[in-house]
């Protein structure tokens, strides 16, 4: 199995999901850092026509969109399996992954996470408190719904980690770095415990912003 190349920016939660999945699989991979501000120009725009990260390259096969990448990795590298066999559990996994993309990222993390974490850290921006406050009602709905979907199970699709956990954990870990997390997690103890469980995994510890920045510097 030849090496996987991940085009990514340190700090990207979507990129971290790909790296964490490769770590869970014990796969050999290389990070190819994309400099912020260069994603809408060549060469990156030829890899990703929407100018985003991550992009996976495998034996010349280029793939963007994190869910597609995670499913490709799970099919190419079957052990350990990260998709449940049971159709209902697999449907819960798919549902949680779509909640991540459509509701947690869009309108919550791309506002609150951006203004609290990425903007200040990467661009030296001051958080836009009005935008953050406007995103909070949706953020409450999303966090409460994720806690409801998780319920008493250890992971989103049951007893074992799946692609849903690996997609959601980097996003929620981002939100957990903001002061808003105290309100968003209040009453959602199961989500906090799940995030602690995920953050304790070797795959998540190997792919923190700092660790990915180290990989980028070494590339």
Ligand X SMILES: N[C@@H](CCC(=O)N[C@@H](CS)C(=O)NCC(=O)O)C(=O)O
Q: Where do contacts with ligand X occur on this chain (CB under 6 A)?
A: 12-14, 39, 51-53, 65-66
Q: If DSSP codes are grouped into helix, strand and coil, which group holds residue 64? A: strand
Q: Minimum Å distance from CB 145 to ligand X?
A: 20
Which is closer to ligand X, CB of 96 or CB of 188?
Answer: 96
Q: Whose Cβ is closer to ligand X: residue 70's or residue 191's?
A: 70
Task: Choose between 66 and 178: whose C-beta lies nearer to ligand X.
Answer: 66
- Classify residue 136 by its DSSP letter: H
Q: Say if CB 24 and CB 83 are below 8 A apart.
A: no
Residue found under tokens 């994720």: 146
Q: Please, what is the minimum distance in Å from the beta carbon of residue 153 to ligand X? A: 24
Smallest distance from ligand X to CB 48, Å: 8
Nearest one of 160, 51, 158, 143 to 100, comparing CA atoms: 143
Q: Which is nearer to ligand X, 12 or 203 (CB)?
A: 12
**Whole-number minimum distance, CB 69 to ligand X, in Å?**
7
**Shortest distance, position 66 Cβ to ligand X, whole Å:** 3
Decide whether 155 or 209 has the Cβ nearer to ligand X. 209
Residue 13's Cβ-count burial label (10 Å; 0-12, 13-18, 19+) is: buried
Residue nearest to ligand X (CB): 52
CB 189 within 8 A of CB 195: no
Give, in degrees to the nearest 5, the angle at Cα 129 between 124 and 133: 140
User: Exposure of 130 by Cβ count < 10 A (0-12 exposed, 13-18 middle, 19+ buried)?
Assistant: exposed
């Amino acid at each position: 199995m030849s090496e996987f190349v991940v085009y990514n920016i340190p700090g990207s939660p979507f990129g971290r999901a790909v790296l964490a999945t490769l770590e869970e699989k014990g796969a050999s991979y290389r990070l190819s850092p994309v400099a912020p501000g260069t994603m809408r120009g060549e060469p990156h725009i030829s890899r990703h026509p929407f100018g985003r990260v991550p992009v996976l390259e495998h034996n010349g096969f280029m793939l963007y969109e994190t869910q597609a990448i995670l499913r490709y990795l799970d099919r190419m590298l079957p052990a350990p399996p990260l998709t449940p066999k049971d159709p209902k559990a697999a449907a819960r996994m798919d549902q949680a992954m779509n909640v991540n993309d459509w509701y947690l990222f869009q309108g919550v993390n791309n506002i609150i996470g951006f203004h609290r974490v990425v903007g200040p850290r990467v661009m030296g921006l001051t958080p836009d408190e009005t935008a953050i406050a406007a995103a909070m009602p949706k953020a409450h709905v999303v966090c409460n719904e994720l806690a409801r979907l998780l319920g008493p199970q250890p992971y989103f699709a049951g007893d074992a980690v799946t692609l849903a956990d690996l997609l959601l954990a980097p996003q929620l870990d981002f939100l957990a770095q903001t002061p808003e997390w105290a309100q968003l997690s209040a009453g959602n103890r199961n989500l906090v415990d799940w995030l602690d469980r995920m953050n304790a995994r070797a795959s998540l510890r190997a792919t923190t912003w700092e660790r990915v920045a180290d990989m980028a510097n070494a590339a």
